[in-house]
Amino acid sequence: MIFYKKGDKKLLNAWAFYDWANSVYPLVISTAIFPIYFKSITKGEPVDFLWFNAVENDAFIGYVSSFTFIILAIISPILSGIADHTGYKKLFMKFFCYLGSISCILLYTFDLDNFDLGMIYYFFAVVGFWGSLVFYNSYLPDIANVDEQDITSAKGYSLGYLGSIILLIFCLFLTQFPEYFNISDKTHAVKISFVLVGIWWLAFSQYSFYYLPGKNFYNVKKTNLYSTTTLFSGFNQLINVLNQLKTNKNLKIFLLSFFIFTIPTQTIILLASYFGADLNEISWDSEETMQTGLIIAIIVIQILAAVGAYLGAKISNRFGNINTLIGINILWGIICLFGFFVTTPIEFYYAAGFIGLGMGGIQSLSRSTFSKLIDVKYSTSYFSFYDVSQKLSIVIGTAIYATMDLYTGSIRLAILLFSLLFIPSIYFLSKVSND
């Protein structure tokens, strides 16, 4: 295996290409096709899952998301500490990639008669996607020089946004015209879409895995991955990073701000489709019009997110990462305020466009800003704190979403509350020394 030097274009491109591989999951599974499929098989009725009975279906998805991210918040720091101690960063990244992609393929069996098992596959698909990201993100400061990190992060997200559109459009054609592919009906075509997501993710990730450095790249002692000593060393690594966090004022304040602004942004990104698919919230003419409109909005979001990622990187070169993030936070606050009043399809399209710009900018620039503030030697452990902050934010955000929907029948109050969270987020960002 050839080891490329830090900053080598082949290495940076291979790293960014993993976004191309895995981004089909959040778009096709989480955002576009699965929400519509879930709505269609549950018919908007309460669902039964394991020992839980008659749970309102939108609230159910919110609580499943919350539970999943709690599990991830527990396991990812431990595994990250082990990865830094042993150098097995790529091994863990592969494990979660394969877990997620295979779970997507198994979603082919998901229907109302196989609801419990199907939701378990959905759970592992979420775990696989988000679990792989902490190891993937932590490669950024390892392989890119400081002045390359903003644009490399933006390139990764842009490849992900654009690549996922390609598969989404094919899957939409597949589901709308199944007879052209000799498929019996739309439901079967949707299930095949889940399989295609898993295959795409699994296949294209191999390019990244070929170039990304493995254990021998890191200057670590030879260790037994399965020993008790390794497990405790992982904990010790985390404690070491935690102690460093206490003395790194900029990083500590940035993480606090990141935690706050991720609550509204990631929740909206994850669950906006369920809001848009609710005929009681948006005045679509029919369910068919709703499905078409939702897909159009999703494609608009992805295209503008790619633009937003590059714009964020370019603007940060002139005004600095922190000032740019403050501006993006202001944009998100306006988006949430506007979202509270959205009732018509055209208003939903406008909101989708600005969500796209804001999503691309805030995701890409948050990652690269954090990578500039950390000690590269412990990159995985540092990114585990970034990852845990993100996951706990999502737990809180999805729980707010689900609870508001459960008790009020609408999530508009949650959207209004989300807009207020950008005030403390901007305040804390202003306390971080600009780069």
Q: Residue 262: pLDDT above 60?
A: yes
Cα dihedral sign, 230-234-239-244: positive
Annotate 402-425 with b (16+ C-beta within 10 A) or e (fewer): bbbbbeeeebbebbebbbebbeeb
Which residue(s) pair with 413 in the sheet? none
> In angstroms, rounded to a whole number, what is the distance separating the alpha carbons of residues 119 and 152?
35
Does residue 54 carry a pLDDT above 80?
A: no
Q: How many CB atoms lie within 10 A of CB 144?
A: 23
162 vs 306: CA distance, rounded Å? 7
3-state secondary structure of 214: coil
The answer to whether 65 and 398 are in contact (CB under 8 A) is: yes
How many angstroms separate the first and last alpha carbons of the chain?
A: 36
Q: Which of 20-34, 72-86, 275-289 has the highest mean pLDDT?
A: 20-34
Q: Rounded to whole angstroms, how far apart are CA atoms 254 and 251?
A: 5
**pLDDT score of 28 more than 80:** yes
Q: What is the pLDDT of residue 59?
A: 65
Structure tokens at 415: 């959207």
Which 3-state string (H, E, C) describes 171-208?
HHHHHHCHHHHCCCCHHHHHHHHHHHHHHHHHHHHHHH
Question: In this predicted model, what pLDDT tens digit does every residue of 176-213 receive, in sequence order?
Answer: 888 888 888 888 888 899 999 999 999 999 999 999 88
| In contact, 421 and 260? CB cutoff 8 Å | yes
Work out the pLDDT band at 57, boundaries 50, 70, 90: low
DSSP state of 112: G
Q: In this structure, are residues 343 and 282 in contact, taking their beta carbons and an 8 Å threshold?
A: yes
What pLDDT score was predicted for residue 231? Answer: 59
- Convert the pLDDT of each residue in 120-178 to its tens digit: 898 899 899 988 988 898 888 888 888 888 899 989 888 988 888 899 889 888 988 88
Query: Which of residues 271 and 422 earns the better pLDDT score?
Result: 422
pLDDT tier at 62, thresholds 50, 70, 90 = low
Using pLDDT thresholds of 50, 70 and 90, give the confidence band for residue 392: confident
- Phi and psi at 69, nearest 5°, equal -75, -25
- Residue 52, classed as helix, strand or coil, is strand
Helix (H, G, I), strand (E, B) or coil at 46: coil
What are the two backbone dihedrals, phi and then psi, of residue 212, each rounded to the nearest 5 degrees? Answer: -65, 140
In this structure, what DSSP letter does residue 250 have? Answer: H
CATH number listed for the domain at residues 9-212+228-430:
1.20.1250.20
Q: What is the mean pLDDT of the chain?
A: 82
Query: What whole-number distance in Å separates Cα of residue 23 and Cα of residue 272?
Result: 17
0.85 surpassed by pTM: no
pLDDT at 324: 94
Domain ranges of the chain: 9-212+228-430
